[in-house]
Amino acid sequence: MRISHYLFLSVLLFCSSLSASGQELTVKSFESSNDIISIADQRRDFNDDACALIKVRMISPLERVEGNVVGDIVTRGTEKWVYVTAGTKELRLFPKEYLPLSVVFRNYGITDVEGKHVYILTLQGEIIATVPEVEKGCLTLKVTPKDAVVMIDGKMRQLNQAGEWRDSLFYGTYNYSVNAEGYDTRIDTVTVGEQPVFREVLLDKIVLAKEERRMKFGVNAGINLASASFKEAKASMAIGFYAGFAMRYDFTPSMGLATGLYLTQKGFKSEGGSSSSTANPMFIQIPIEFSYRFSMVRIHAGPYVGFGVSGKLKTTFNEFNKSTSINFFDRYNRLDAGVTAGVALDFNHFSIGANYELGCTGFANRNIQIGLSYLF
């Protein structure tokens, strides 16, 4: 009886020692230090936003940390510096000599962490005799397009030539993001468990709204209040019209280059002593105008060139009460070149404005244009 009694006590003491050595790692405290990370120690995520710094204080080596972690763990004495994205709400710690530990920040009065701020996580616990193997599951991501960048819990993952990434991960929920130039970024979560997980990610192409398109085409039409400059006679306005196709390319939302092809009727009325004249020449005209927009107002200016296609010059001799009519371009040059400037109000696709043309060749054209344009 005495031997069996001692044997029972020995087994009981051994089991008690195993129970004591099997205690899990615990959080002693988790708090904000109210410090701001220095520029030299800052780290940024893939969106170029400043990370938060969590200083983990523990004696045992820390093999891995999961949960929106950016970059590698930095060892500073007994501290392990872990950088995470702003808004992170929890971490999963995998120490070398302790059981894995999940730290949910709200349990310690912190909803989530802020960028550029420093937090102190102090851990305590007893070394266990045996660390059980943590179970892993298989995750496969198939991504389109194949050149997309995949981040899982803040770490970049390399896709193969087929646009797939496959690996074993510890059981749990992971945050991931997929982005590629010219596509909308996809941000989501995936849970890894006992069964293999397959997730297909198809990114949507970015489609610019119509008002964001740089190249715009349309039509332009209005009236001309035309005149000319003569030394020997006094000229007055003649009413004409213009109409044609317009095009504008916007380098930026405020700066652009406009041109077009117009049929425009100019002319003049003149009084010169014993005679009076009326002209109505028609031109095909191409302007090249640089524009600048602020709010709804667009100002523009530039050169133009026109070529005469038809028109009459009618002269009345008051003394004899007789009139003659000739081809306008028998007397004046068909080339009409000069400069133009104006202002317009933009209303989505429509625009209403006024221009002033100053001709430098031909019959010294002077013209005011008032019109409406539609660009799409």
Q: The domain spanning residue 367 has which CATH number?
A: 2.40.160.20
Measured in whole angstroms, how far is the alpha carbon of residue 211 from the centre of its chain?
15
pLDDT in tens, 266-298: 988 887 767 788 888 999 999 999 999 988 899
Give residue 172's pLDDT: 86
Q: Report yes or no on 8 lying in a domain.
A: no
Give residue 7's pLDDT: 45
Characterize 210-240 residue by residue with b for buried, 16 or more Cβ atoms within 10 angstroms of its Cβ, and e for exposed.
eeeeeebebebebebbbbbeeeebebebbeb
Give residue 100's pLDDT: 87
- Are 156 and 236 members of one domain? no
Give residue 294's pLDDT: 87
Q: Report yes or no on 17 lying in a domain.
A: no
Quote the CA–CA distance of 282 and 327 in Å, as a whole number: 11
- Are 279 and 140 members of one domain? no
- Are 94 and 111 members of one domain? yes
Q: Which of 202, 221, 248 is the last residue of a domain?
A: 202
- Are 54 and 197 members of one domain? no
Give residue 6's pLDDT: 43
User: Best-predicted range by mean pLDDT among 26-40, 134-148, 292-306?
Assistant: 292-306
Coil, strand or helix: which one is 20? Answer: helix
Quote the CA–CA distance of 16 and 39 in Å, as a whole number: 51
- Are 111 and 157 members of one domain? no
Supply the DSSP string of 276-317, one letter for each residue: EEEE--EEEEEEEEEEEEETTEEEEEEEEEEEEEE-EEEEEE
- Are 184 and 95 members of one domain? no
Alpha-carbon dihedral sign for residues 210, 213, 217, 219: positive
- Residue pair 74/66 in contact by the 8 Å Cβ criterion: no
Q: Report yes or no on 102 lying in a domain.
A: yes
Give residue 189's pLDDT: 92
Domain housing 185: 136-202
- Are 62 and 180 members of one domain? no
Read off the amino acid at residue 144.
Answer: T
- Are 168 and 246 members of one domain? no
Read off the amino acid at residue 48.
Answer: D
Q: Report yes or no on 3 lying in a domain.
A: no
Average pLDDT, the chain: 84
Residue that is written with structure tokens 């004409």 in the block? 240
Give residue 322's pLDDT: 81
pLDDT-derived band at 354 (thresholds 50, 70, 90) equals very high
Q: Report yes or no on 55 lying in a domain.
A: yes
Nearest Cα neighbor of 305 from 290, 285, 281, 280 is 285
Q: Report yes or no on 12 lying in a domain.
A: no
- Residue % of the chain over a pLDDT of 90: 41
Give residue 211's pLDDT: 45
Give residue 240's pLDDT: 92
- Are 234 and 348 members of one domain? yes
- Are 215 and 336 members of one domain? yes
Question: Does the pLDDT value for residue 221 go beyond 90?
Answer: yes
Q: Which of 124, 146, 173 is the last residue of a domain?
A: 124
- Are 142 and 162 members of one domain? yes
Quote the CA–CA distance of 255 and 298 in Å, as a whole number: 9
pLDDT-derived band at 14 (thresholds 50, 70, 90) equals very low
CATH of the domain at 187: 2.60.40.10
Number of domains composing the chain: 3
Q: What is the pTM of this model?
A: 0.45
Q: CA triplet 5, 9, 10: central angle to 5 degrees?
A: 115
- Are 324 and 240 members of one domain? yes
Q: Bridge-partner residues for 342, per DSSP?
A: 300, 355
Q: Report yes or no on 82 lying in a domain.
A: yes
Q: Report yes or no on 75 lying in a domain.
A: yes
pLDDT-derived band at 105 (thresholds 50, 70, 90) equals very high
pLDDT in tens, 176-218: 999 998 888 999 999 998 889 999 999 988 765 544 568 889 9
Residue that is written with structure tokens 């009065």 in the block? 109
Question: Does the pLDDT value for residue 355 go beyond 90?
Answer: yes
Q: Which of 202, 223, 247 is the last residue of a domain?
A: 202
pLDDT-derived band at 4 (thresholds 50, 70, 90) equals very low
